[in-house]
Chain A
Amino acid sequence: MPVYLFPAYRNTRASLRMLGPDGVPLSRRYYSQKSGRDLKDEDMIRGYETDKGKYVIVTDEELDRLAPEKSRDIDLRKFIERDSIPPLYFERSYFLTPAGNTQKAYNLLARTMEELKRVGIAAFVMRGKEYLVAILAENGILRAETLRFADELRTPAEIGLPKKAKIKQAKVKQFERLIKSHSKARPSKAETKDLETGRVVKLAKKKLSRKKDVVEVEIEKRAEGNVVDIMDVLKKSIAAKR
């Protein structure tokens, strides 16, 4: 069943651009240690450092060929209970939307998993990395959560945390009362807002209104651009198949 994958995040962090003395946006370039000249993509290779200053060269082709056979398939091998994955495994979230003529199969899988309160577990390769994913259904929409592999997580014993100490039940009860008195039914969005970005944007806008330190750049001169609103793309991708 072909699907498209979209990140479930908007890029909202205030990223600052590096500008030259005259305000022109700068580009990052690679250059040669020996000649000092800038290098093009085809002048560069990838190396894995085995000893200091010693590298094993690995090409794109070699990496492609090392990828597993079913590299583009999300092969669902297991369906587990929804709440049984410890949150420390969750890494990144993606939306899956139907691609081509697959709306029916998509809806069928989404509805079945939602009703049975199960999530699918699968492994697949994306952009040169193997991912373990949990496929979740929510409001009729499928999502893929990439999961960390077990060897990417440390245990309390590996960290060296002390074994559980003897505790006074009176202390536990005291904490339970404290938790109860600070409880809410659901997380408050206001408490999870990004105040830092807000402050940067506010100052920038204040300076803009006073026309202080403002530089205009011709847009076609910029190397990057094409900022895509993920919401637009997602809505279109879902709506097109109605």
Chain B
Amino acid sequence: MAARAMWKGKLKIGATRVPVDLYSAVVDKTVHFHILEEKTKERVKQHMVDPSTGEEVAAEDIQKGYEVEPGTFVILTGEELESLEPEASREIEITHFVPSTRIEPEWYERPYYLGPDGDSGAYFALAEALNNQQKEGVARWVMRKKQYVGALRVEGDYLLLVTMRHAEEVVSTEDLPSPGGRDLDRKEVKMATQLVEALAGEFDPADFKDEYRERVMEFIDKKAKGKTTRLHAVKSKRTTSSLTSALERSLKTLKKEKKAA
């Protein structure tokens, strides 16, 4: 079943515009629980209370405040907050392009696929051009009253818009001191290199499954049918003191695993 577009916009590069539809590339697979009252097994409700009196405050009496410094709030009225909202627009403005490996992973937040809205020739031509140039675009747009920053990329034949975190939010390693410590032992460097090379492989996402999520769902199914399951306790692993012996052990285990395979 084809998904419905969650938003429509126009990519704007200079004076050129490419109309697109936006689709979430992420499916929520989290196992969601509800909070219940133990006695009644009914869903609980939430309200806002004055913590000093325990009295409920009705929704229409609630004000919003920004904490300018610890303990000091400035109240912002609904009208004021509305006046601060970014202006609604359908334009996804690409401000500039950078080499496609230049944005570090910590910046990316949530991916959306873009689909052509009408002119599919322009859409696929832009995707091919981005791919030929090995570039990604830095985008700005307003969606549902929120200002977004994102990266326009190519994924296969398609355009992908990944929302990015804001510059103020990201802590980069450049802001941190580099870790100290003595020079590394040459023998250990060699062993570590061997270990990494022995485990070299390719990124294959199908190799990994959220086994924990699957186990939780299985457990819930069984419990719903009235079956009881015996659960095993969590074991802890032993730790070693010497780095060299730990490296040696890892290499040995690997060799054994390779022989057995």
Question: Which residues does chain B contribute within 8 Å of A98, judged by CB atoms?
Answer: 179
* A77 surroundings in chain B (CB, below 8 A): 199
**Is the Cβ of A208 less than 8 Å from the Cβ of B74?**
yes
Chain B contacts for A106, CB-based, 8 A: 179, 181
Provide the main secondary structure of the chain A interface. mixed
* Contact with B200, one of A47, A118, A161, A235 (Cβ below 8 angstroms): A118
Tell me if A44 is interfacial: C-beta within 8 Å of chain B.
yes
Q: Is B206 an interface residue (CB 8 A)?
A: yes
Q: Is the interface of B mostly helix, strand, loop or mixed?
A: mixed
| Among B1, B140, B176, residue most surrounded by chain A Cβ atoms (within 10 Å) | B176
Instruction: Determine whether the beta carbon of A178 is less than 8 Å from that of B34.
Output: no
**Is B105 a contact of A156 with CB atoms below 8 Å?**
no
- The CA-CA distance from A143 to B52 in the complex, in Å, is 43
Measured CB to CB, the closest approach of chain A to B161, in angstroms, equals 10
B224 touches A56 (CB 8 A): yes
Return the contact of A153 from the options B26, B175, B224, B243 (Cβ within 8 A): B26
B232:A65 contact, CB within 8 angstroms: yes
B223:A58 contact, CB within 8 angstroms: yes
Minimal beta-carbon separation of A181 from chain B (angstroms): 7
**Counting CB contacts under 8 A, is B62 at the interface?**
yes
A24 interfacial contact with B, CB 8 Å:
yes
Contact yes or no, A140 B48, CB < 8 A: no
Range of interface residues on A (Cβ < 8 Å): 35 or more
Question: Are A38 and B54 closer than 8 Å at their CB atoms?
Answer: yes
Q: Which residues of A contact B57 (CB under 8 A)?
A: 20-21, 26
Question: How far does the Cβ of B7 sit from chain A's closest Cβ, in whole Å?
Answer: 14
Encode contact with B along A201-242: 1 for CB under 8 Å, 0 otherwise. 101110110001111111101110101001100110011011
B157: A residues at CB distance < 8 A = 156, 164
When the two chains form their complex, are residues A50 and B33 in contact, meaning their CB atoms are under 8 A apart? no
From residue B235, how far is it (CB to closest CB) to chain A in Å? 5
Q: How many A-B residue pairs have CB under 8 A?
A: 512
Mark A76-97 against chain B: 1 for CB-CB distance below 8 A, else 0: 1111110111111110010101
Residues of B within 8 A of A160 (CB): 1-3
B169 pairs with A27, CB closer than 8 A: no
Provide the A86-117 mask, 1 if CB < 8 A to any CB of B, else 0: 11111001010110000111111111110110
User: In whole angstroms, what is the CA distance A232 to B99 when docked?
Assistant: 32
Distance from B208 Cβ to chain A, minimum over Cβ atoms (Å): 5
Minimum CB–CB distance for B150 against chain A, Å: 9
Q: How far is the CB of B70 from chain A (nearest CB, A)?
A: 6
A186 CA / B101 CA spacing, docked (Å): 10
Question: Is the Cβ of A62 less than 8 Å from the Cβ of B219?
Answer: yes
Residues of chain B in range 148-199 having any CB-CB distance to chain A below 8 Å: 149, 151, 153, 155-158, 160, 162, 164-171, 173-182, 184, 188-189, 192-193, 195-197, 199
Residue of A165, A179, A193, A221 near B167 (CB, 8 A) is A193
Task: For the complex, give the distance between the alpha carbons of A140 and B28 in Å.
Answer: 35
Q: Is the CB of A19 within 8 A of B177?
A: no
The answer to whether B44 touches A31, judged by C-beta atoms less than 8 angstroms apart, is: yes
**Which of B153, B168, B219 touches A194 (beta carbons < 8 Å)?**
B168
Q: How far is the CA of A207 from the CA of B173 in the complex (A)?
A: 37
- B88 in contact (CB, < 8 A): no
Distance A183 CA – B136 CA, assembled complex (angstroms) = 9
A178 touches B45 (CB 8 A): no
Are the C-beta atoms of A149 and B167 separated by less than 8 Å?
Answer: no
* A window 18-48: CB within 8 A of B: 18-21, 23-34, 38-39, 42-48
Contact B146 A44, beta carbon cutoff 8 Å? no
Q: How close is A162's CB to chain B, nearest CB, in angstroms?
A: 6
**Cβ–Cβ < 8 Å partners of B181 in chain A:** 103-104, 106-107, 241-242
Cα-based distance from A179 to B43 in the complex (angstroms): 54
Contact A79 B201 (CB under 8 A): yes
Residues of A within 8 A of B126 (CB): 175
- Smallest beta-carbon distance A192→chain B, Å: 4
In the complex, chain B residues whose CB is within 8 Å of the CB of A62 = 219, 231
The answer, among B116, B169, B236, for a CB contact under 8 Å with A10, is: B169
Q: In the complex, are the beta carbons of B146 and A203 less than 8 A apart?
A: no
Residue pair B62, A26 in contact (C-beta under 8 Å): yes
- What would 5 A/B residue contacts be, using CB atoms closer than 8 Å? A20-B57, A56-B224, A87-B162, A112-B196, A187-B96
